[in-house]
Chain A
């Protein structure tokens, strides 16, 4: 059921995730995420796709009682080993959230460089901010008002600012949790174009409710579904084009053709 992926810097093996100590939300997922490609996680609400995503940078475990079992391999090393620095991991695996979450007390510039170490010089920060804002296709819109509050930007600009903030840290992997679900169609388009552009350099994992979006932006797609105990399982994963034309599992076909979910 897995497509052959030659180069996968990120991989999960037998990953299970829990909330409130014993409520199983993701059950025994094993899959690989291709280098320089967008992998879409699809499935109906409550299928565990966001939880799976949040396990990849270990942000899942900040909720009280949340934990994960199994392995997440970044360049072959399990990030759930005890000696792994969580902050170091999160610098390598950036994340963009469902709703834009710029830091409200900071300027646009302050937001972009907020992930950089305090020891980075001012001029290096300025250079890094410009690079990140250009990568996020936001530079031309904000270059004259870098000192303005980030909250003064529009919703779509705020989301691209959050992408720039994640890129400024120079991660290897970018996780995106329904990054366009609160945006209008035009902002959605600009973020999707950005994802396609970023996929040339980064390993991108995107959670999406929107099948058209998955078809537009991703090269690989995974379909998840919760069983009767609400534990999310991976049904299948393949090249996106194959998933949308001839999926190997009946449930995938039913979901994609709109029979449920």
Chain B
């Protein structure tokens, strides 16, 4: 047993306590400054885009085709439709694949094979999107000598896959083991237990991951350059080149015409708002889960 200290430790070591308080204060201040810098940068970008782009967004901007140079008006409706279709198709491709992979990792997560899958998934999430675009080009565009929205969806799906996979795996793992045991103990099969009990219990976190992955690719431009390519027309056949909002922003922004710059700002603002809405939706889904 230790002897009882003659003096209370907080009196003897008060100078050390002061140093600790100082270090604590410096730490808090440093992190606060860093956080503020990040937040201010974001606000400046958002504010600038909003100021520049707000004037461009109106009804014809959202409903009309791009106008030729020299004509006033026109919009990016085909780009909005194209982006929604391309991202939608990518979601349809990536979701079942990512979910099944996540189930595999969550239930058979031991041994070398799941480790390899996890590692490759992390590598995939780190590959620059332009490289993914090139990969889609080589696989889907070059052999057919034809740009297409499908090839862009394929590239997007590859970008979404690691996000869906890891968030879904975490979501499924976070379902308590006792829930699964309870279902199995009732005589439910592994398949029913997984699909009817475990996955629904994880559904809010899975949906959150899905929305975040959609938000992530919605603003992607690089892979579109040599896959969807862009189009000045209404195009709804995913086998053909298709207009894409980020591509339109890119093309208008590097053009020499003032009126096109205006449209580029509008498109950028619209994209940011769309992604923002998706992120807020994800947050709402997540908080709804905890408030229940």
Contact = CB atoms under 8 A, between A and B. Distances in A.
A169 B187 CA distance: 9
A124 B188 CA distance: 19
Nearest to A91: B187
Nearest to B179: A101
A166 B186 contact: yes
Interface in B148-197: 176, 178-179, 181-189, 196-197
Interface string A112-134: 00110000000000000000000
A114 B197 contact: yes
Interface string B185-219: 11111000000110011010000000000000000
Interface string A73-102: 000000000000001111100110101011
Contact of A103 (B110, B182, B184, B292): B182
A6 interface: no
Contact of A115 (B179, B181, B188, B201): B188
Given A101-B176, A103-B197, A103-B201, A62 B188 contact: no
B178 A99 contact: yes
B184 A162 contact: no
Contacts of A57: 185
A59 B186 CA distance: 10
Contacts of A62: 181, 184
B186 A105 contact: no
B197 to A, nearest CB: 5
Nearest to B203: A105
B181 A64 contact: no
Interface residues of B, number: 19
B178 A94 contact: no
Given A90-B187, A149-B292, A104 B201 contact: yes
Contacts of B188: 87, 114-115
Interface in A138-160: 149, 151
A57 B184 CA distance: 10
A94 B188 CA distance: 12
Contact of A169 (B186, B201, B292): B186
B179 A104 contact: yes
A233 interface: no
A209 interface: no
Given A103-B179, A104-B179, A149-B292, A59 B185 contact: yes
A99 B186 CA distance: 16
A35 interface: no
A53 to B, nearest CB: 11
Contacts of A97: 178, 181-182, 185
B111 to A, nearest CB: 9
Contacts of B189: 87
Interface string A161-181: 010011001000000000000
Contacts of B179: 101, 103-104
Contacts of B178: 97, 99, 101
A62 B180 CA distance: 10
Contacts of A165: 182, 186
A99 B176 CA distance: 11
A94 B110 contact: no
19 contacts: A59-B181, A59-B184, A64-B110, A87-B188, A90-B186, A90-B187, A94-B185, A97-B181, A97-B185, A101-B181, A101-B182, A103-B182, A103-B201, A104-B179, A105-B201, A105-B203, A115-B186, A149-B292, A166-B186
Interface of A: 57, 59, 62, 64, 87-91, 94-95, 97, 99, 101-105, 114-115, 149, 151, 162, 165-166, 169
Given A97-B182, A149-B292, 15 more contacts: A59-B185, A62-B184, A87-B187, A89-B187, A90-B186, A90-B187, A91-B186, A101-B181, A103-B179, A105-B200, A105-B201, A105-B203, A114-B188, A114-B196, A115-B188
Interface of B: 110, 176, 178-179, 181-189, 196-197, 200-201, 203, 292
